[in-house]
């Protein structure tokens, strides 16, 4: 989709993470969260996305090099302000602009494509991802009119000040924070966002564009996620653990459907860069990492760590640690073996 530009909001400090590292650089599934997001962006747009980062945050820029463009947000004045900073480099460059967060590593390219198609097909000012979530969620609620159309996003803090707060907070449809805008409409309207009071000062909220579109008589479309896990973001360590658990569920489901036996999926950890052949059996407390390639009919584990290894068909490795090692087909190593590439060639 060459007429789609993508903006990834990645300027968060990681304050709620209690971390010295930039939030989006924390890992899920063996690689930084923002790397998953950039991969998804490339998968849907086929062109470099633009990361909005803070002035002293070089980690994300160093990670990608020229695979992404960067926009510096000198002052953190909210999500709307972050998108405003991208206008000089993206205005007039595409028909659509997709905006998402760098801490949402479970988003799929297929979902982003569906969102973009919805905006293009309807001519809406914007389309947005929503999900059905728990009543205690901190995500904004989606308010709809009598005809079922989106009319407002109500943040939890706003809802709490209203007399009908209980009814609003009971709404299960939640704002995910991923939007696809008609580009011309976005760049014409984002400079006019109102400045609002926030916990740490004043901010421009991207969500206010929904109300602006409705007031102009424009349509706002919503695409409800079939897999609510895609809507998960990680702003705290607890949320990071939830995202990791969801990523783990996705990965194990993939291998079970591909003909690999995982004796205890909850106690098996497989990086997304790994390849495993059919009819291989993986026993509990096993970690397969760093692009390892496992053949067919292997027996892996229990209590095994494999990093950047290549195992031929029919190998058996049990209670073993291997790193950077290649084993021919039908190799069986004794339990409690520890072997690296350097040790193998000594």
Domains of the chain in start order, with CATH, are: 4-231 (3.90.550.10), 258-344 (2.160.10.10)
| Catalytic residue set | 16
> For position 296, what pLDDT does the model report?
98
Q: Tell me the whole-structure pTM to 2 decimals.
A: 0.90
- Exposure on the CB side of residue 8, measured as CA atoms within 13 A: 28
**H helix runs in the chain, sequence order:** 33-45, 59-64, 79-90, 109-122, 156-159, 165-169, 183-189, 208-215, 237-257, 341-344
> For position 344, what pLDDT does the model report?
61
Q: Which 3 state secondary structure label does DSSP give 28? A: strand
CA atoms of 127 and 219, how far apart (whole Å): 9
Residue of 8, 61, 243, 229 lying closest to 133 (CA atoms): 229
Q: Look at phi and psi of residue 107 and say left if phi exceeds 0, alpha if psi is from -120 to 50, else beta.
A: beta
Ramachandran angles phi, psi of 112, nearest 5°: -65, -35
Cα dist from 119 to 107, 124, 189, 223, 320, whole Å: 18, 5, 17, 10, 52
> For position 346, what pLDDT does the model report?
47
- Residue-by-residue pLDDT tens, the chain, 346 positions: 459 999 999 987 777 888 888 899 999 998 999 999 999 999 999 999 999 998 887 788 889 989 999 999 988 899 999 999 999 999 999 999 999 999 999 999 999 999 999 999 999 999 999 999 998 898 999 999 988 999 999 888 888 788 888 899 999 999 999 999 999 999 999 999 998 877 677 889 999 999 999 999 999 999 999 999 999 999 899 999 999 999 999 999 999 999 999 999 999 999 988 999 999 999 999 999 989 999 999 999 999 999 999 999 999 999 999 999 999 999 999 999 999 987 765 4
> For position 335, what pLDDT does the model report?
96
CA atoms of 174 and 153, how far apart (whole Å): 9
């Amino acid at each position: 989709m060459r007429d789609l530009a993508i903006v990834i909001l990645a300027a968060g400090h990681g304050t709620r993470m209690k971390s010295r590292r930039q939030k989006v650089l924390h890992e899920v599934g063996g690689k930084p969260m923002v790397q998953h997001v950039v991969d998804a962006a490339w998968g849907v747009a086929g062109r470099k996305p633009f990361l909005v980062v803070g002035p002293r945050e070089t980690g994300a820029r160093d990670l990608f090099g020229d695979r992404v463009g960067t926009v510096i947000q000198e002052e953190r004045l909210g999500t709307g302000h972050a998108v405003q900073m991208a206008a000089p480099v993206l205005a007039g460059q595409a028909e659509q602009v997709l905006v998402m967060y760098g801490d949402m590593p479970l988003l799929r390219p297929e979902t982003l494509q569906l969102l973009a198609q919805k905006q293009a097909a309807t001519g809406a000012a914007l389309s947005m991802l929503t999900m059905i979530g728990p009543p205690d969620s901190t995500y904004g609620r989606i308010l709809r009119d009598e005809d079922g159309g989106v009319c407002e996003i109500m943040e939890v803090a706003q809802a709490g000040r209203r007399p009908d707060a209980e009814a609003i907070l009971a709404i299960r449809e939640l704002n995910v924070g991923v939007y696809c805008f008609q580009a011309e409409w976005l760049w014409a309207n984002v400079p006019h966002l109102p400045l609002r009071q926030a916990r740490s000062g004043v901010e421009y909220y991207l969500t206010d564009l929904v109300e602006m579109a409705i007031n102009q008589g424009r349509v706002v479309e919503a695409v409800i996620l079939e897999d609510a896990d895609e809507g998960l973001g990680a702003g705290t360590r607890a949320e990071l653990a939830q995202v990791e658990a969801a990523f783990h569920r996705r990965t194990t489901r993939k291998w079970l459907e591909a003909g690999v036996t995982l004796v205890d999926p909850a106690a098996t950890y497989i990086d997304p860069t790994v390849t495993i052949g059919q009819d291989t059996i993986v026993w509990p407390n096993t970690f397969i990492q760093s692009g390892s390639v496992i053949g067919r009919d292997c027996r892996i584990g229990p209590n095994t760590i494999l990093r950047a290894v290549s195992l031929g068909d029919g190998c058996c490795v049990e209670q073993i640690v291997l790193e950077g090692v290649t084993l021919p087909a039908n190799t069986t190593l004794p339990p409690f073996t520890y072997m690296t590439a350097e040790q193998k060639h000594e």
